[in-house]
């Protein structure tokens, strides 16, 4: 039935507009009106924004409404915010997420905070942009479990929404591409910076960090000690705390390099990507327990101890992961440093008042 | 795929004519008939003997060194009381504890089935318990962490694969096997430098660790002539020939000379 609907709609659109590029592009999904300049907080670089989706005040507001709207799920019970809850720093606080009908997923929900800077989305990097990413959870059977046609139809039935879509993108009503674009624009405003660490490093406030945190930072960037910034990068003028690449650090490794989750490997088929996952940013990390793609580490102390021991050996382990000699004091300092990465929470990103 | 290729070199030589793709595909189903079903050696328990023995050290009794865990205060607390170096534990009368005893020779051509009950290592009080243990090749090793801190167990096999694995407080047990005979495999914790244990992997079930009184027993041995080997962490390895006869206890008195 859904299939049929799509086919029908595509045919209609195609005949009307004589387009060969498919249904998605039949109606413009580029927001109209003046572009809103998103100002990244201290410690973050300028945002790169796809030219075909410049954020506007209207598209950001629409994306925010959609992000909190349970109608994007099959039984109207789950919104994006169910798993990316602003109260839990846009995570769900679970080891792995629970979605439609109580289905338990296989991966830990990452915060969407600063996802705007990721070249590749998801733990395995399988989506190339926020726009592309948004469609995945909606139709994923263990997440929101709703076909895109139904989502579009459900929203189109609401006259208020239909008007908002037209106001934001021009005539054409609700389309999947418009939903994706609005969600992406909203997510681009969910930025976290201006942490104690940023004020210390980028504004020279020497007492923004405690002595223990400063020692921890030195360990973090010292390639002979923590070696953390090799992957969780810190630049001269900003710090994303991720290199945007996938690495095998041994999380989830079984006997002789068996992995229940192969990570990035299915995307690239490169041996080095077996059991490799995208380096997460460490911003706000003290607010996003539990840790790692499988949520297997409960505390930051557990994470630091994991690294201190050299992780889990396996044939694909990244060469930058090795036993590092850190005393208990060093490990404590490293944890204290990670706690300094809590940013100033972004404004206007909670549930909107108008749309339920 | 690589492993399977190694397993069937002769087959592959023939197959290589047909091209790599095909060889890879056929490798796994064809591998089955090449490995004949293993005939396990069954001991006739009605006709067995026993080796009993004691291990002594004739040298000067070492003074037990105190272990300093102050580097990790959580360990000091978890250990509850002082920790002493256990690399050579000799009682007042010269009995040696924690010596590993096993049959090194005498079972040529016989294959023993590996037990399915695991051998345990507990990480408790930032200490490996036990200090020395034996395991049959192919028998599961189960590693548990009873501590409130993370450990990273690291068996440094040279015949068996070397590996290390992180285990946080309350984490699931780690299950591993050692497929090849190796006496001993030194084990350390990558995080706590003072933690050591040793695993003796033997392809027969006849091994033991001496108790505090230096004694050990290897029961239910088929009659025959064996090489009994004893390993001690500090004192090294001693070997002796021993005859086992049905229904008797053969006694082995093993003494390490002091320097």
Structure confidence by residue, pLDDT tens digits, B36-92: 678 899 999 999 999 999 999 999 888 889 999 998 999 999 999 999 999 999 999
Backbone angles phi, psi at A349, to 5 degrees: -125, 0
Which of B92, B189, B181, B102 is closest to B139 using CA atoms? B181
Over its C-alpha atoms, chain B yields an Rg (Å, rounded) of 22
Between the two ends of chain B, the Cα-to-Cα distance in Å is 53
What are the sequence ranges of the domains in chain B? 37-59+94-112+204-259, 114-203
CA distance A11 to chain B (A): 43
Task: Name the residue facing A255 among B73, B162, B176 (closest C-beta).
Answer: B176
Architecture of B37-59+94-112+204-259 per CATH? Answer: Sandwich (2.60)
CA distance B19 to chain A (A): 22
pTM of this prediction exceeds 0.90: no
Look at residue B35 in the predicted model and tell me its pLDDT.
Answer: 67
B contacts of A252 (beta carbons < 8 Å): none
Beta-strand pair B128-129/B151-155: unpaired
> Is the predicted pLDDT of residue B230 greater than 90, yes or no?
yes
> Is the predicted pLDDT of residue B9 greater than 60, yes or no?
no
Look at residue A88 in the predicted model and tell me its pLDDT.
Answer: 95
Structure tokens that stand for A333 in this block: 């300092």
Q: Which helix (H) or strand (E) holds B131?
A: none
Structure confidence by residue, pLDDT tens digits, B80-133: 999 999 999 999 999 999 999 999 999 999 999 999 999 999 999 999 999 999
Are the Cβ atoms of A297 and B162 closer than 8 angstroms? no
Q: Return the half-sphere exposure (C-beta side, CA atoms, 13 A cut-off) of residue B164.
A: 24
Which of B186, B176, B178 is closest to B156 using CA atoms? B186
Determine the Cα–Cα distance for residues B135 and B207; give it in Å rounded to an integer: 8
Handedness of CA A292, A294, A295, A296 (dihedral sign): negative
Q: Of the given ranges (A255-264, A279-288, B179-188, B225-234), which has the lowest mean pLDDT? A: A255-264
Are the Cβ atoms of B168 and A305 closer than 8 angstroms? yes
Task: Name the residue facing B166 among A255, A312, A329 (closest C-beta).
Answer: A312
Distances (CA, A) of B61 to A87, A224, B54, B98, B136: 63, 42, 17, 15, 32
Determine the Cα–Cα distance for residues A186 and A180; give it in Å rounded to an integer: 10
Structure tokens that stand for A326 in this block: 């850190």
Determine the Cα–Cα distance for residues B97 and B133; give it in Å rounded to an integer: 12
- Substitution target in A313, A315, A332 with the highest count of B β-carbons within 10 Å is A313
What are the sequence ranges of the domains in chain A? 29-187, 196-339
Are the Cβ atoms of B161 and A250 closer than 8 angstroms? no
Long-range contacts of A64-70 (CB under 8 A, 24+ apart): A64/A186, A64/A348, A64/A349, A64/A352, A65/A161, A65/A164, A65/A352, A65/A354, A65/A355, A66/A179, A66/A182, A66/A183, A66/A186, A67/A183, A67/A186, A67/A187, A68/A351, A68/A352, A68/A355, A69/A155, A69/A355, A69/A356, A70/A356
Look at residue B140 in the predicted model and tell me its pLDDT.
Answer: 97
Are the Cβ atoms of B166 and A256 closer than 8 angstroms? no
Domains B37-59+94-112+204-259 and B114-203 agree in fold: yes
Band (B24; pLDDT cuts 50, 70, 90):
very low
CA distance A61 to chain B (A): 43
> Is the predicted pLDDT of residue B26 greater than 80, yes or no?
no
B contacts of A329 (beta carbons < 8 Å): 71
Determine the Cα–Cα distance for residues B94 and B88; give it in Å rounded to an integer: 11
A contacts of B162 (beta carbons < 8 Å): 313
- Substitution target in A309, A317, A325 with the highest count of B β-carbons within 10 Å is A309
> What is the CATH topology of the domain spanning B114-203?
Immunoglobulin-like (2.60.40)
Instruction: Tell me what the mean pLDDT of segment B197-225 comes to.
Output: 97
Are the Cβ atoms of B168 and A310 closer than 8 angstroms? no
Q: Max CA-CA distance within chain B?
A: 71
Determine the Cα–Cα distance for residues A347 and A41; give it in Å rounded to an integer: 11
> Is the predicted pLDDT of residue B185 greater than 70, yes or no?
yes
Mean of the per-residue pLDDT values of chain B: 88
> What is the CATH topology of the domain spanning A196-339?
Cytochrome Bc1 Complex; Chain D, domain 2 (1.10.760)
Interface of B with A (CB under 8 A): 71-74, 149-152, 154, 161-166, 168-169, 171, 175-177, 189-191
Look at residue A26 in the predicted model and tell me its pLDDT.
Answer: 74
Question: Which CATH superfamily is A29-187 part of?
Answer: Cytochrome c-like domain (1.10.760.10)
Are the Cβ atoms of B168 and A327 closer than 8 angstroms? no
Task: Name the residue facing A310 among B72, B176, B190 (closest C-beta).
Answer: B190
Helices (H) and strands (E) in chain A, counts: 12, 2
Instruction: For chain A, 356 residues long, give each residue's pLDDT as a single digit of tens.
Output: 444 444 444 444 444 443 333 444 479 999 999 999 999 999 999 999 999 999 999 999 999 999 999 999 999 999 999 999 999 999 999 999 988 888 888 999 999 999 999 999 999 999 999 999 999 999 998 899 999 999 999 999 999 999 999 999 999 999 999 999 999 999 999 999 999 999 999 999 999 999 999 999 999 999 999 999 999 999 999 999 999 999 999 999 988 778 989 999 999 999 999 999 999 999 999 999 999 999 999 999 999 999 999 999 999 999 999 878 899 999 999 999 999 999 999 999 999 986 44
Q: Which helix (H) or strand (E) holds B132?
A: strand B132-136
């Amino acid at each position: 039935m859904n299939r049929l609907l799509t086919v029908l709609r595509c045919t209609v659109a195609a005949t009307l507009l004589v387009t060969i590029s498919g249904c998605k592009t039949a109606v413009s999904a580029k927001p109209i009106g003046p572009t809103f300049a998103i100002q990244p907080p201290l410690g973050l670089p300028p945002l790169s924004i796809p030219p075909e989706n410049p954020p506007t005040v209207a598209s950001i507001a629409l994306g925010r409404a959609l992000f909190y709207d349970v109608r994007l799920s099959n039984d109207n019970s789950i919104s994006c915010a169910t798993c990316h809850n602003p109260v839990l720093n846009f995570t769900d606080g679970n080891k792995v997420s629970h979605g439609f009908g109580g289905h338990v997923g296989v991966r830990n929900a990452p915060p969407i905070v600063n996802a705007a800077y990721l070249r590749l989305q998801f733990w395995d990097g399988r989506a190339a942009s926020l726009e592309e990413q948004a469609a995945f959870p909606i139709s994923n059977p263990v997440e929101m479990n709703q076909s895109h046609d139904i989502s579009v139809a459900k929203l189109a039935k609401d006259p208020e929404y239909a008007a908002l879509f037209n106001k934001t993108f021009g005539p054409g009503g609700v389309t999947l591409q418009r939903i994706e674009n609005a969600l992406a624009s909203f997510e681009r405003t969910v930025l976290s910076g201006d942490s104690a660490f940023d004020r210390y490093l980028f504004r020279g406030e020497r007492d923004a960090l405690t002595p223990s945190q400063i020692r921890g930072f030195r360990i973090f960037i010292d390639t002979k000690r923590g070696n953390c910034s090799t992957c969780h990068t810190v630049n001269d003028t900003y710090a994303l705390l991720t290199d945007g690449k996938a690495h095998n650090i041994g999380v989830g490794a079984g006997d002789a390099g068996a992995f229940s989750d192969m990570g990035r490997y299915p995307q690239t088929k490169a041996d080095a990507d077996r059991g490799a996952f995208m380096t997460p940013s460490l911003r706000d990390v003290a607010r996003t327990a539990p840790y790692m793609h499988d949520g297997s580490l409960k505390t930051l102390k557990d994470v630091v101890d994991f690294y201190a021991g050299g992780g889990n050996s396996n044939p694909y382990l990244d060469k930058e992961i090795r036993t590092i000699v850190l005393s208990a004091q060093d490990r404590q300092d490293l944890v204290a440093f990670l706690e300094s990465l809590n940013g100033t929470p972004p404004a206007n990103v909670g549930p909107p008042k108008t749309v339920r | 795929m690589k492993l399977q290729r190694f397993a069937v070199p002769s087959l592959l030589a023939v197959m290589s004519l047909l091209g790599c793709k095909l060889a890879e595909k056929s490798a796994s189903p064809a591998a089955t008939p090449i490995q004949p079903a293993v005939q396990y050696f069954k001991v006739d328990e009605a006709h067995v003997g026993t080796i009993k023995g004691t291990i002594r050290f004739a040298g000067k009794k070492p003074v037990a060194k105190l272990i300093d865990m102050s580097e990790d205060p959580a360990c000091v607390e978890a250990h509850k009381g002082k920790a002493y170096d256990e690399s050579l534990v000799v009682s007042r009368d010269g009995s040696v504890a924690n010596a590993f005893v096993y049959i090194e020779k005498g079972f040529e051509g016989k294959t023993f089935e590996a037990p399915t009950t695991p051998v345990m290592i507990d990480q408790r009080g930032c200490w490996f318990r036990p200090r020395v243990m034996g395991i049959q090749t192919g028998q599961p090793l189960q590693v548990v962490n009873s501590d409130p801190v993370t450990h990273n167990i690291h068996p440094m096999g040279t015949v068996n694969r070397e590996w290390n694995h992180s285990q946080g407080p309350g984490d699931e047990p780690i299950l591993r096997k050692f497929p090849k005979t190796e006496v001993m495999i030194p084990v350390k914790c990558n995080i706590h430098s003072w933690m050591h244990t040793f695993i003796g992997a033997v392809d027969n079930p006849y091994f033991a660790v001496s108790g505090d009184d230096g004694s050990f027993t290897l029961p239910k041995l088929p009659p025959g002539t064996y090489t009994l080997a004893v390993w001690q962490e500090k004192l090294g390895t001693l070997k002796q020939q021993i005859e086992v006869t049905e229904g008797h206890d053969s006694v082995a008195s093993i003494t390490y000379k002091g320097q």
